[in-house]
Structure formats: C-alpha cells, structure tokens
Amino acid sequence: MRVIITGGTGLIGRRLSRALVAEGHEVIVLSRAPEKAKDMPAGVQLQKWDGKSAEGWGALADGAGAIVNLAGAGIADKRWSRERKREIRQSRLNAGKAVMEAIAAASIKPDVLIQASAVGYYGTHTGDAQVTESFSPGGDFLSKVCFDWEASTAAAKKYGVRRAVIRTGVVLSNEGGAFPKQILPFKLFIGGPVGSGKQWYPWIHIEDQVRAILFLIADERAEGPFNLCAPNPVTNKEFSKLIGEVLGRPSFLPAPAFALKLLFGEMAMILLEGQRAVPQRLLELGFQFKYETARAALQDLLGKPSPAGSAATKSESPSEEKLAEPARAGKE
C-alpha cells in the first residue's frame, strides 16, 4: 500500500514512517525542504511540495492506500505574535487544501485520509469532566485552529474517502516534542508542577500514538473524530510526582503561573490548561493501549522498568485508580 504523509519529518511522522516501512508499505513523505530532512527511516521516499498545493506530488494520490495529513507550523516553537498565530492557522489550512486538491484530481481515490488535530479542539474550560469525542469545540485560539484544521479536509467524504480525525494529546517521546524539555528540570533537581498543577494532562506514549494511527488506517469502521490519548489522564501535579518518583528526583518546586505568562505570553495556556480527554471511540473499536498508565509510560521512556508483577505497574495515582476500570471496560 502506498501511504503519503504530509508533515512526515516531524516527531510523529518519523515514527509512523518507520512503522509503515517495517510493514512493507511504500511510504512517501512530503517536505518543503527534502534536502534538510534528518533522521528519516531507510526506505522512505521524500517528495518536495510547497505546502499549499498538489503541484508536483498530486499524481501520487491516485490509487494511494492512505494519506496522513500531519502538516502544520509548530504550536510551541515560538512566542505567539499576531504573525505567528496567522502562520499556525494558515499552514494547516494550506495543507488541507493541498490534500483535497490531490484527492479531487485522483482517478482512483485514496482509501482513507487520516486528518491531524488535537485535544485543544475542546478548549480550556472543560473542568474535571471526562472529555469524549462528543464534546463541543471551545472558543479559544487553539480550539478554533483545530476546528478549522479538521474542516479543511471535511469534503473528503463527498469523494467517497473514509476520513478519521486524530485529536492528539501530549505525545511522550525521547526523540522530540515537549517531553525532553519537561523532564530536564527534574534531572537538575528543580522539577515540579506547572502553575496550580490541577490542570489535566492528556498524554499518550509515542508508540501508542503510532499504533493507533495504524489501527485507524486499517479498520474500515474508523471514521470521524478520535481522541488519541491514554485512557488514564492525570493532573499535571500527579504527572510531575510520577516523573520525580521514576527518576528519583524531587518534584515539589512549582513553576509559577505568572512567571510562565510573562515568559510565554498567551502561549502559556498550553502549559497552564488541559483537558481530561479520554479515548472513548478508540476503545469502543477494540484498540488496546500498550501504555495505559503514566507510570508505565515514564518507566519505559526513562529506562526504569518495574519488575514483573510489581505494584508499580498498577494504577497508583488517584486519577488513574478512578479511570482504569472504565478504560478496561471499554475494550471488552
């Protein structure tokens, strides 16, 4: 099967490409600067594109098995000026437009389109409610970006292309993203919760992120929005405590909200707010997470696996104890 990935040189795209190549698929990653792409898996074909049209690559969509649209300017790469916010939004709309242009022109339409989004779709005022895919969008900047991002490829359905939307949480990986920056203060003995620490932290291990995308590509029942986050979200304070425990470091020095707002401006909302998102529809389809709890994910990523059968492999934070049973029930 031929799989085309936009934004494939990023954290998720690289790991997804590696997994697809390992399964024997033809993988084509679109990049605006193929010559600068680093650490791409062997066997991946890099194809230049302009990020806004199907020019030069559109013919590859004819008869493709899947298109995975991950492209978009990094949310947390730079402080949010008016121009940066415009770039964040427009880069996503341009990529969606290019994908739809390729689908419209294809004689044999792709089987499935995986459209990226984020749990930020739901906004920052969901409180302690378990946020499933049926929740309405929020009204802040990121939720509006996600709403428009999803809408950019909504027309795929009229061409008979199955479309699954992945509303991703915080992806935990040692290879990039927020996680390496997040654990650095703990390694320096100055780690702790962010702000009040009460905000929810909808996380997912990179391996489960990739496994879930592969699952959605393969399962013909998978259509519409899916929360890609582990079934046991924790609060920021609980997550920080677990990092400290796994690393054997203190975890009580908070990063004050006012300082983060001074440093990052409006972008601080990424750190200070969160959603108690749960992957209801993914579990209903039968997907099984390899890393269901934050402790298990951290032990894997930080190189400190628990002994087989030890209590540390079980849900230990209050939030994990509360949510573990519903998550398991969803898979039966």
Q: DSSP string spanning 129-158?
A: S-B-TTSPP-SSHHHHHHHHHHHTTGGGGG
Contact 203, 278 (CB under 8 A): no
Hey, what are 53's tokens? 């049209």
Which of 34-48, 116-130, 285-299, 317-331 is the least confident region?
317-331
Count CB atoms within 10 A of the CB of residue 207: 18
Q: DSSP string spanning 49-115?
A: --SSS-TTTGGGGTT-SEEEE-----SSSS---HHHHHHHHHHHHHHHHHHHHHHHH-SS--SEEEE
**Residue 26 burial (10 A CB sphere; 0-12, 13-18, 19+):** middle
Buried b (16+ CB within 10 A) or exposed e, 32-62: eeeeebeebbeebbbbebebbebeebbebbe
pLDDT band of 327, cuts 50, 70, 90: very low
pLDDT band of 330, cuts 50, 70, 90: very low
Contact 140, 123 (CB under 8 A): yes
pLDDT digits (tens, 9 = 90+) for 144-202: 999 999 999 999 999 999 999 999 999 999 998 889 988 999 999 999 999 999 999 99
Q: Where is 45: in which H helix or E strand?
A: strand 45-48
**Which residue type occupies 272?**
L
pLDDT value, residue 324: 40
Q: Where are the domains of the chain?
A: 2-176+204-228
pLDDT band of 79, cuts 50, 70, 90: confident
pLDDT greater than 50 at residue 309: no
pLDDT value, residue 304: 64
pLDDT value, residue 270: 77
46-74 average pLDDT score: 96
264-286 average pLDDT score: 89
pLDDT digits (tens, 9 = 90+) for 95-149: 999 999 999 999 999 999 999 999 999 998 888 999 999 999 999 999 999 999 9
Domain 2-176+204-228 CATH (choose: 3.40.50.720, 3.90.1150.10, 3.40.50.970, 3.40.50.10490): 3.40.50.720
What 3-state class would DSSP assign to 287?
coil
